Structure 1
């Protein structure tokens, strides 16, 4: 253990480094996983693929008119193999998968599901939330009246034993999961863990895996894991309707003008389509036609995503290099090294994540609030910080990472000095 005088010396060094960084008067933001302008530029041609009266799909659908709640079949055929679902069980909607999530959960609360027509909202309703996890999932579910129950994650995915214990309560209706490059840790669920979730006993007959493939296409490296066919795993386990799959092109083309997707077992897709038909007369098929013509086929999507990786992989590398150089020689923090997705997770000493975020804000580096990765914004260890390096320029990411390191070092030595 370091002596008190040594700790004081290192605290003084950390304080001086922090003050030097803060004196630069920077304004940097690594809070949310937004695509950078250069990524949005990749899809500029999307805006010119439909013009004049050239508005018909290959199968003859007039995209200007009502109808087609299921979305354009040709576009669904492009994304079906990428998402490992049959095209007939894939729906295409508007720009936000969050909307599909809201609709599916609301329909279940009001009308029950394809498996059990008893409305979830008639009694207590709870959802399992792997942590660290996706803040938008937690916020949405809380707004709909769900009680959120945290379960831990490890390198293979959610803790199935913990999930199974909680699912003995029939009020537990499902579980959130980001299976590929989880937000915020970057973990990809293993085949073994996915099978366990598909087979897991649950008291609720319609226990549901809310399977959000938000980052399924966002590989940073040429060698990458493949998407799992969760629908087949669930069907083999005797739960063909257990998984509701969500995805979108929000970080693939234009975030404000993408296409969202919903998939499930055959009965679930029928249930979703029937409910959608009561609240909408069809999605924006012109925008879906734009995407169809822009990508042409599945290979076109994969080629496009390699261009994304060329832009953002260096930013991830810059953060990881800064963390390694600035913190690697001390036992002050740990961090993930994801192979895809949009985030890096930094784990500090217990009790100082909020202090790091405060120091960073005062030094001109805006971070996601501490606790955002947990239900109700409460991280019991106050140690998790989500880093989103995609939106700023590479130079800005490098500076922000340097500032983050300075903040972690200062907050860590403050804690060590306080005993």
Structure 2
């Protein structure tokens, strides 16, 4: 269906046909939700062995009684797992509570208010501060920036990662840009993996940026593959050490979408010096993380081989859902010119671009037919998608039957909104 090839009469006839199908869905009073990238109950069930796994043995491998205070940077055995996920040394990792988002916020606080290289290095001393934000991107990164009054500078995403020519030009010309947010593997929401060349360029970026520049490397989907032989992500810390920029890299990941989402373990990866600085501040607000929970995770996931086997079980649940979404996009919209999308091989999202000016309309129409989607614009700073195109689809929670219905409604809304736009042109 190429709309530009249809006459006005044909468009009107198609609009009537699509509107009737849309009304039929409205009359069903459905309630389906594709808003957040949460694990499904089936996925959460995979980790129910956490409950009772300690069997009364609360001693860590170094003899620590995990029921007690202390251990600010986490247990050695869980740090070993986090270091393996991020590909860094065990002395370059801190294991915290359940949320990597908390660690990200705390790192921005450290950089903004306190500084990583002494009080004089705090960003707040330099007036207006900005952060580069690849778009479409992760809305919670944007929320952190807003909380500190940090101005967000959008950078276009390509199929290889951020547009490095654009990003490099920005940081060279504007020293008030103090950092960049990155979701390098199965990027939220596009699902792409940063190419080796992009990772290399990001490792080099602090050399051309102003002082105090930081790369916030949110590797949330480091092990969340849907296929057996995924493309490898280049190791940012190894490249940064070669470039001499390792002190500008802070990395994050967690078990939130590996075990129990609300009761996992988060990790911060950084140089010894940055970790020491961070811990000097962290000790003011906490005596230590939940080591009992860390020990539960270390017992359940003692090594990467066990973790990889566990993630294959997640993939077996998730992949059919991704396949369902892609089937409807490919079968109903491929070749029509009504939208663009990636076909990710991991992560939690599928990013869809409508024709310019239609994302809000599609989201509104879908909601009125019983399908909740992430608000249009959420994947852009300040919730403002300048072209009103991007919609993030999160297929993990609904059942396959629910997802099939939701996708029938979604593609119908895309078609109907597109036809109505063409008729009003």
Mark the runs of 5 or more structure 2 residues left unpaired by the alignment.
none
Name 1:397's counterpart in structure 2: 403
2:210 corresponds, among 192, 195, 204, to 204
Mark the runs of 5 or more structure 1 residues left unpaired by the alignment.
none
**Mapping 1:60-99, distance limit 5 Å:** 60-99=63-102
Name 2:297's counterpart in structure 1: 291
Q: Kindly provide the CA deviation profile for residues 127-147 of structure 1, in whole angstroms up to 9, marking residues without a partner as x.
A: 100000001110111112111
State yes or no: 1:26 paired with 2:30.
yes
- Matched residue of 1:48: which SS? coil
* CA distance in structure 1 between the partners assigned to 2:321 and 2:161 by the alignment: 25
The 8 Å contact of residues 83 and 227 in structure 1, kept in 2 or not, is answered as: no
Name 1:193's counterpart in structure 2: 198
**Mapping 1:40-55, distance limit 5 Å:** 40-52=44-56, 54-55=57-58
The 8 Å contact of residues 132 and 154 in structure 2, kept in 1 or not, is answered as: yes
* CA distance in structure 2 between the partners assigned to 1:113 and 1:296 by the alignment: 32
| Structure 1 runs (4+) greater than 4 angstroms displaced | none
CA RMSD of aligned residues (A): 1.3
1:137 corresponds, among 141, 147, 150, to 141
* CA distance in structure 1 between the partners assigned to 2:271 and 2:165 by the alignment: 25
Q: Kindly provide the CA deviation profile for residues 289-328 of structure 1, in whole angstroms up to 9, marking residues without a partner as x.
A: 0000111211111111100000010000001101112212
2:8 corresponds, among 4, 8, 14, to 4
The 8 Å contact of residues 28 and 365 in structure 1, kept in 2 or not, is answered as: yes
Give how far 1:51 is off.
3.7
The 8 Å contact of residues 247 and 260 in structure 1, kept in 2 or not, is answered as: yes
The 8 Å contact of residues 89 and 265 in structure 1, kept in 2 or not, is answered as: yes
Q: Kindly provide the CA deviation profile for residues 23-56 of structure 1, in whole angstroms up to 9, marking residues without a partner as x.
A: 221100000001000000000001111243x100
**Mapping 1:169-188, distance limit 5 Å:** 169-188=174-193
* CA distance in structure 1 between the partners assigned to 2:366 and 2:90 by the alignment: 46
**Mapping 1:327-346, distance limit 5 Å:** 327-346=333-352
Name 2:114's counterpart in structure 1: 111
Give how far 1:78 is off.
2.1
**Mapping 1:262-301, distance limit 5 Å:** 262-301=268-307
Give how far 1:65 is off.
1.4
* CA distance in structure 1 between the partners assigned to 2:340 and 2:40 by the alignment: 26
Q: Kindly provide the CA deviation profile for residues 386-418 of structure 1, in whole angstroms up to 9, marking residues without a partner as x.
A: 000001111111111111011101100000111
* CA distance in structure 2 between the partners assigned to 1:289 and 1:176 by the alignment: 30
Name whichever of 273-282 and 303-312 sits farther off.
273-282
The 8 Å contact of residues 84 and 228 in structure 1, kept in 2 or not, is answered as: no
* CA distance in structure 2 between the partners assigned to 1:227 and 1:188 by the alignment: 7
* CA distance in structure 2 between the partners assigned to 1:115 and 1:178 by the alignment: 28
Give how far 1:329 is off.
4.3
* CA distance in structure 1 between the partners assigned to 2:223 and 2:54 by the alignment: 25
Name whichever of 335-344 and 197-206 sits farther off.
197-206
Q: TM-score, normalised by structure 2?
A: 0.96
Count of residues in correspondence between the two structures: 418
The 8 Å contact of residues 116 and 205 in structure 1, kept in 2 or not, is answered as: no
Name 2:222's counterpart in structure 1: 216
Name whichever of 249-258 and 18-27 sits farther off.
18-27
State yes or no: 1:36 paired with 2:4.
no
Name 1:238's counterpart in structure 2: 244
Name 2:264's counterpart in structure 1: 258
* CA distance in structure 1 between the partners assigned to 2:394 and 2:422 by the alignment: 28
Name 1:226's counterpart in structure 2: 232
The 8 Å contact of residues 121 and 212 in structure 2, kept in 1 or not, is answered as: no
